[in-house]
Amino acid sequence: MEDKVLVCQDCGKEFVFTVGEQMFYKEKGFDNEPKRCKECRDKRKAMRRQREAEASETPAVE
C-alpha cells in the first residue's frame, strides 16, 4: 500500500491520502476514499454545526 494523491471535489487542490489513513478507513469498514481535503472537511463540519445550532435556537411553530 502507498500514499495516494487525491483531488478535493470542493477546492480542486491535491491532498495526500496516507497509508495510515487508508488503513484506518479499511479498519472502520469505509468503502470510499475521502473526496475533500482536510480544510474543506473542516469548513463543512463548521457550517453544519452552525446550521444545527441556529435550528435549535429557532422556536418550534405549533
| pLDDT tens digits, one per residue of 1-59 | 899 999 999 999 999 999 999 999 999 999 999 999 999 999 999 999 999 998 887 66
- The answer to the question of residue 62 being in a domain is no
- The answer to the question of residue 44 being in a domain is yes
The total of structural domains in the chain comes to 1
pLDDT at 62: 64
Q: What is the domain extent for residue 39? A: 4-57
DSSP annotation of 9? T
Cβ-based neighbours of 36, under 8 Å, separated by 6 or more: 8, 9, 10, 44
- The answer to the question of residue 47 being in a domain is yes
Per the structure block, which three cell numbers stand in for 39?
480544510
